[in-house]
Amino acid sequence: MPLMVGQLFLALYALYEELTVISVTRGILILLIWILTFLIFVPIHNNIQAGKFDTPLLRKLIQSNWFRTLLWTLVLAASPVFWN
């Protein structure tokens, strides 16, 4: 969670400093990651922590994580290190 908060602040700062297609895209991707984290992943992890899990739930976690990994890869591709 601390890394996600740091990433969010850096994205907001980048938007404040320079409003570009890349910074907006990165901001939207990070916002989407946050939404997915709280709507999908937090409830799954809460169930696992409470001992309420089964094979379908674990499969859902793994499959959903691939999409989130793709989003983080796109955020990396939209980072300033590649565009400056």
pLDDT score of 1 more than 80: no
Instruction: Looking at the chain, list the stretches that DSSP marks H as alpha helix, in order from N- to C-terminal side.
Output: 2-17, 21-36, 42-49, 55-77, 80-83
DSSP letter for 50, please. Answer: T
Per the structure, how many domains does the chain have?
1
User: Is residue 19 a part of any domain in this protein?
Assistant: yes
Return the closest-CA partner of residue 11 out of 36, 32, 35, 28: 28
User: Is residue 83 a part of any domain in this protein?
Assistant: no
User: Is residue 84 a part of any domain in this protein?
Assistant: no
pLDDT value of position 33: 92
Residue 33 and residue 71 in contact, taking contact as beta carbons nearer than 8 Å: yes
Task: Say what the pTM is.
Answer: 0.80
Q: Print the domain residue range for 52.
A: 2-78
pLDDT category at 54 given cuts 50, 70, 90 is very high
pLDDT score of 10 more than 90: no
- Interatomic CA distance for residues 66 and 9, integer angstroms: 24
Evaluated on CA atoms 76, 62, 39, 67, the torsion sign reads positive
User: Is residue 70 a part of any domain in this protein?
Assistant: yes
